[in-house]
Amino acid sequence: MRRLPFAVLAASAALAGCASVPKPLVGDYAAVNPQQARDRHLPGERVRWGGEIIRVDPGANVTCFEILGRALADNARPSARDDSQGRFIACRKGFYDPEVFTRGREVTVAGRLDGSERRKVGEYDYLYPRVDADVVYLWPKRSAVVRYDPYPWSWDPF
């Protein structure tokens, strides 16, 4: 039997580590996204949703986040695509500084559905599913990836 070189095993372990879900976000959650939750009444259902922060509203004892929902990758991080799964509101006890949790930052929240709330998006009356969050996980900013093509004149079918 051939043994795999140590480098291959180490690389496999490193790649597997990249796709792991952060400990606070591990758990069993309903397979429903914010758009689907708008159409159904699911109070108390456990969800793990993520996306891009639109607005942060710190209150006296709670901070609420308005979030543009995005599909989650295998590691529970919101995808960087331009699609949307609908908007939602997530509220968590405590103070979350809007200068840290700024517009455009990626977050993943975990908690229970707690009804819905109507707010205006421009002139549109939008129904936001509301999450009573146990976890608000702020992801590090993505680093820019620069692709260098040593053969810019070559034909690449992909």
For 44-71, write each residue's pLDDT tens digit. 899 999 999 999 999 999 999 999 999 9
Confidence of residue 10 (pLDDT cuts 50, 70, 90): very low
Residue 138 half-sphere exposure toward CB, CA atoms < 13 A = 14
- Among the residue ranges 1-5, 133-137, 153-157, the one predicted with the least confidence is 1-5
Separation between Cα atoms, residue 97 and residue 14, nearest integer Å:
33
Q: Which residue intervals of 19-147 are DSSP H helices?
A: 34-39
Reported as a single tens digit per residue, the pLDDT across 64-84 is 999 999 999 999 999 987 789
What's the pLDDT at 157? 59
- Can you tell me the mean pLDDT for 20-28? 95
- Can you tell me the mean pLDDT for 116-123? 93
Reported as a single tens digit per residue, the pLDDT across 129-151 is 999 999 999 999 988 776 666 66
Computed on alpha carbons and rounded to an integer, the radius of gyration of the chain in Å comes to: 19
Q: Is the pLDDT of residue 41 over 60?
A: yes
